[in-house]
Amino acid sequence: RNFKRQIECRSDIDRLNASFLAIYESLIPAEEEKAKQKQLLTLLEKLVGKEWPEARLYLYGSCANSFGVLKSDIDVCLAIEVADNKKSEVLLKLADILQSDNLQNVQALTRARVPIVKLMDPVTGISCDICINNLLAVVNTKLLRDYAQIDVRLRQLAFIVKHWAKSRGVNETYQGTLSSYAYVLMCIHFLQQRRPAILPCLQGMERTYAVTVDNVECAYFDRVEKLGDFGCHNRESIAQLVWAFFNYWAYCHDYANDVISVRTGSIISKRSKDWTRRIGNDRHLICIEDPFEIRHDLGRVVDKYSIKVLREEFERAAEIMQYDPNPCATLLEPYIP
Ligand code: GTP
Ligand code: MG
């Protein structure tokens, strides 16, 4: 029954499209927000530079990957030469420095999976997490940003999907659902798979950018401005894509056997990655390969309870896109436990 479904059956598709575009537009951060983020980064650079002149700060995550909606916090990576076992000391020292400069709610979380210092800047009102030497995140941030430049529908789709995930409570890795990073990879993969394709596979092309970080080689085609209007042969609208995205995750994805892989621009098998059984806490119930750390499954946080929650939400979304008279509102309705 599933393959017969088509959103074109909806007579209100144009109106639906306009509604999704309006939601997308309303989520784009204002220029002044970007300026405030820069202002905070400059302050942090000044403070860090006094103590560690050779250290560098990089923005990563949604404030730098073009998938940040308005009023986001910022993620900063401090690149500094320090032995792994001395990272906590650096974080504590950093917290000290920031505290004495009137930054608020400064907290060093040295035992977190990714140890960070948290703070809030009372001048700009922006909150910020600073981690140390997480350079792979800086590089995957660039990859996402480069993909976003190729076709605006990626940013539109990812904004809607992230907004949906936050509203429905399925963007909480500590509760076994997926990170924003995982959702953006799902969107990129999905657009690579459309026919005609809306996005290319940058890691399968000529390598114009290559770095080795933590022994991982990260290389891909990053001259995306040279790709012209890559997706122009595919005329699907954002409403069609949102519908097809949820339809794919609700009814078409083979959860038992498949891994989605942005790196290869295709589906690969769990068997080829030896992700067929639970090892430790990695259950591989939904498999999303990290584009660079290829042994890393971004679905590893999903457990046997949360996979049900996720799949039910995908099905709910797909049903709404098909039948609901006012899909935008219903789709993004907050989940109340
Ligand atoms: P929001 O804050 O929800 O808007 O999204 P975000 O893009 O900041 O995403 P998130 O907080 O999930 O992650 C921040 C960044 O950390 C991502 O953009 C990635 O660069 C990186 N990141 C997150 N999770 C992982 C992971 O499991 N592996 C790696 N290598 N990087 C990750
Ligand atoms: Mg973030």
Contacts of 248 (CB under 8 A, 6+ apart): 190
Atom from ligand 1 closest to the CA of residue 63: 8
Ligand nearest to the Cα of 292, by number: 1
- Residues 225-235 have a mean pLDDT of 97
- Residues 46-72 have a mean pLDDT of 95
Inter-residue contact 196 to 151 (CB < 8 Å): no
Q: Calculate what percentage of the chain has a pLDDT beyond 90.
A: 91
- Whether domain 31-136 has CATH 3.30.460.10: yes
Ligand 1 contacts CB of residue 17 (under 6 A): no
pLDDT at 226: 98
Q: Measured in angstroms, how far is the CA atom of residue 61 from the centroid of ligand 1?
A: 5
pLDDT tens, residue by residue, 107-136: 999 998 889 999 999 999 999 999 999 999
Ligand 1 contacts CB of residue 289 (under 6 A): no
Q: Which residue has its alpha carbon closest to ligand 1 atom 31? A: 137
- Structure tokens that stand for 220 in this block: 């891909």
Predicted confidence (pLDDT) at residue 337 exceeds the cutoff of 90? no
pLDDT at 79: 97
Predicted confidence (pLDDT) at residue 35 exceeds the cutoff of 50? yes
pLDDT-derived band at 238, boundaries 50, 70, 90: very high
pLDDT at 11: 83
Q: Which residue has the higher pLDDT, 280 or 21?
A: 21
- Residues 143-157 have a mean pLDDT of 98
Sign of the dihedral defined by the CA atoms of residues 213, 214, 217, 222, in that order: negative
What residue spans in the chain does CATH classification 1.10.1410.10 cover?
A: 2-27+151-331
Which is nearest to 310 in space by CA: 128, 217, 182? 182
Q: How many alpha carbons fall within 13 Å on the CB side of residue 228?
A: 3
Residue 103 backbone class (left: φ over 0; alpha: ψ -120 to 50; beta: rest): beta
Ligand nearest to the Cα of 114, by number: 1
Q: Measured in angstroms, how far is the CA atom of residue 84 from the centroid of ligand 2?
A: 23
Predicted confidence (pLDDT) at residue 227 exceeds the cutoff of 50? yes
Q: Measured in angstroms, how far is the CA atom of residue 283 from the centroid of ligand 2?
A: 25
pLDDT at 5: 61
8-state DSSP, 135: H
Q: Measured in angstroms, how far is the CA atom of residue 74 from the centroid of ligand 2?
A: 6
Protein residues near ligand 2, an ion, with CB under 5 A? 61-62, 75
pLDDT-derived band at 255, boundaries 50, 70, 90: very high
Q: Measured in angstroms, how far is the CA atom of residue 118 from the centroid of ligand 1?
A: 16
Rounded to the nearest 5°, which phi and psi values hold at 79? -95, 120
Ligand 1 contacts CB of residue 177 (under 6 A): no
What kind and span of H or E run contains 74?
strand 74-79
Alpha helices in the chain (DSSP H): 13-27, 31-51, 87-99, 135-150, 152-167, 180-193, 238-247, 270-273, 306-323, 327-331
pLDDT at 7: 67
What kind and span of H or E run contains 116?
strand 116-120
Rounded to the nearest 5°, which phi and psi values hold at 297? -100, 115
Burial 155-180 (b: 16+ CB within 10 A, else e): bbbbbbbbbbbbebebbebeebbbbb
Q: Measured in angstroms, how far is the CA atom of residue 67 from the centroid of ligand 2?
A: 10
CA distance 182 to 180: 5
Of 4-8, 39-43, 234-238, the range with the lowest mean pLDDT is 4-8
Q: Give the mean pLDDT of the chain.
A: 95
Question: What is the pairing mode between strands 127-132 and 116-120?
Answer: antiparallel
Alpha carbon 301 to chain centroid, angstroms: 15
Pocket mutation for ligand 1, best pick of 66, 116, 179, 262 (most atoms within 8 Å of C-beta): 179
Predicted confidence (pLDDT) at residue 254 exceeds the cutoff of 80? yes
pLDDT tens, residue by residue, 281-298: 889 999 999 999 999 999
- Structure tokens that stand for 233 in this block: 């042969």
Question: Which residue reads 């996005």 in tokens?
Answer: 199
pLDDT at 55: 98
pLDDT at 1: 43
pLDDT at 132: 97
Q: Measured in angstroms, how far is the CA atom of residue 65 from the centroid of ligand 2?
A: 10
pLDDT at 282: 87
Q: What angle do CA 164, 146, 218 make, to 5 degrees?
A: 110
Ligand 1 contacts CB of residue 133 (under 6 A): no
pLDDT-derived band at 334, boundaries 50, 70, 90: very high
- Structure tokens that stand for 316 in this block: 């709910």
Q: Which residue has its alpha carbon closest to ligand 1 atom 29? A: 137
Which is nearest to 243 in space by CA: 166, 148, 160, 152? 160
pLDDT-derived band at 68, boundaries 50, 70, 90: very high
Ligand nearest to the Cα of 140, by number: 1
Burial 90-129 (b: 16+ CB within 10 A, else e): bbeebbebbbeeebeebebeeeeeebbbbbbbeebebbbb
**For residue 196, is the peptide bond before it cis, meaning its omega torsion is within 30 degrees of 0?**
yes
What residue spans in the chain does CATH classification 3.30.460.10 cover?
A: 31-136
- Residues 205-213 have a mean pLDDT of 98
What kind of fold does domain 2-27+151-331 have according to CATH? Poly(a)-polymerase, middle domain (1.10.1410)
- Residues 43-49 have a mean pLDDT of 97
Q: Which residue has its alpha carbon closest to ligand 1 atom 15? A: 61
Ligand 1 contacts CB of residue 181 (under 6 A): yes
What amino acid is encoded at 11 in this protein? Answer: S
Q: Calculate what percentage of the chain has a pLDDT beyond 70.
A: 97
Predicted confidence (pLDDT) at residue 13 exceeds the cutoff of 50? yes
Q: Measured in angstroms, how far is the CA atom of residue 79 from the centroid of ligand 2?
A: 18
Q: Which residue has its alpha carbon closest to ligand 1 atom 30? A: 137
What amino acid is encoded at 289 in this protein? Answer: E
Ligand 1 contacts CB of residue 127 (under 6 A): no
Predicted confidence (pLDDT) at residue 3 exceeds the cutoff of 60? no
Rounded to the nearest 5°, which phi and psi values hold at 227? -80, -10
pLDDT tens, residue by residue, 153-198: 999 999 999 999 999 999 999 999 999 999 999 999 999 999 999 9
Inter-residue contact 284 to 299 (CB < 8 Å): yes
